[in-house]
Amino acid sequence: MKRLVVPSLVAVLLATPALAQVGPSWQPPSSISASAQQEAKVAPDKATLSISVMTRATTAAAAATENAKKQTAALYALRSLGLTNEQLSTTGYSVQPEYRYQPNKDPQLIGYSVTNTITVDIRDLKTIGKVIDAALGAGANQISSLEFYASNTDSARQQAVATAIARARADAQVAARAAGGTLGELLEMTITGDRIIQPPRPIMFKTMAAGAADESTPINPGDQTVVVNISTRWKFNSVTGR
């Protein structure tokens, strides 16, 4: 679903400063500059999810062994949902010593923590809740990020560009008439500020109440906002024909 939002536009009449004459009758043309910002809403159709298994033990080897066991179980659970190997990639692995700190004493090593992170490429947004629940149920214990994105922003962006140009031209025509002249040909146009605004990150939670095991984690992706800025400059035909 795409929804265009048209903000107000601003047009400015610019008189080009006089320059040194090249010929006896030549003068630089006056111009009108008009700009517009346009937004388009696009529903995301893909997501990436970072899932981690963090384990602790008195030795690094023991923590790593436990971690590998739980991460293997989590990967198996995700593959059981139909996710392929190319959708599951390891993006982080760390081993960290852990210390106990007490006043006036040297830090005491008490163990190690191991964290293994995988990134899941989700191509069906309806499965996000099931993916989270399957991973947590198999031993994962951290969800560090969930990012949505749209793979079809080109059409929305092009619509926004076309609308912004039309609005800028309309404002320039109004300015030209108000100044006692007519709008001439387009002299210059620039597209800037092309960006995509991500929707707010969803709040993720796992229902722990009894009898809620069949309920998947609710996710609301929201819309992405494609923003474009247009700057145009048009020739101004004054009543004197300059």
Which residues have CB under 8 Å from 214's CB, separation 6+?
Answer: none
* pLDDT of amino acid 4: 45
212: pLDDT strictly greater than 80: no
In DSSP terms, which residues pair with 170 in a beta bridge? none
Task: Work out the number of other CB atoms within 10 angstroms of the CB of residue 85.
Answer: 8
Q: CA angle, corner 49, sides to 44 and 54, nearest 5?
A: 165
- Mean pLDDT rounded to a whole number for the chain: 83
Question: Which of these, 79, 78, 144, 91, lies nearest to 117 by C-alpha position?
Answer: 91
Answer yes or no: do 188 and 172 share one domain: yes
* Percent above pLDDT 70 for the chain: 77
Name the CA radius of gyration of the chain, rounded: 30
Task: Work out the number of other CB atoms within 10 angstroms of the CB of residue 56.
Answer: 15
For the ranges 41-45, 173-177, 224-228, the maximum mean pLDDT occurs at 173-177
112 lies in which domain range?
A: 46-149
181: pLDDT strictly greater than 60: yes
Answer yes or no: do 53 and 139 share one domain: yes
Answer yes or no: do 138 and 170 share one domain: no
The CATH number of the domain holding residue 189 is 3.30.110.170
Backbone angles phi, psi at 11, to 5 degrees: -120, 140
The residue out of 132, 149, 166 marking a domain boundary is 149
Answer yes or no: do 50 and 21 share one domain: no
pLDDT digits (tens, 9 = 90+) for 91-126: 999 999 999 999 999 999 999 999 999 999 999 999
Pick the range with the lowest mean pLDDT from 22-31, 210-219, 227-236.
210-219
Answer yes or no: do 55 and 138 share one domain: yes
* pLDDT of amino acid 194: 64
HSE-CB of 156 using CA atoms within 13 angstroms = 24
In a domain, 102, yes or no: yes
Q: How many helices (H) and strands (E) does the chain have?
A: 3, 9
In a domain, 242, yes or no: no
Give 26's pLDDT tier (boundaries 50, 70, 90): low
Instruction: Tell me how far apart the alpha carbons of residues 134 and 121 are, in angstroms, rounded to a whole number.
Output: 15
185: pLDDT strictly greater than 50: yes
For the ranges 3-12, 179-188, 216-225, the maximum mean pLDDT occurs at 179-188
- How far lies 150's CA from each of 22, 162, 199, 226, in Å? 53, 20, 11, 10
pLDDT digits (tens, 9 = 90+) for 41-76: 888 999 999 999 999 999 999 999 999 999 999 999
157: pLDDT strictly greater than 70: yes
Cβ-contact 6, 161 below 8 angstroms? no
206: pLDDT strictly greater than 70: no
Give 186's pLDDT tier (boundaries 50, 70, 90): very high
* pLDDT of amino acid 87: 96
The CATH number of the domain holding residue 58 is 3.30.70.2970
Cβ-contact 120, 82 below 8 angstroms? no
Q: Determine if the pTM surpasses 0.75.
A: no
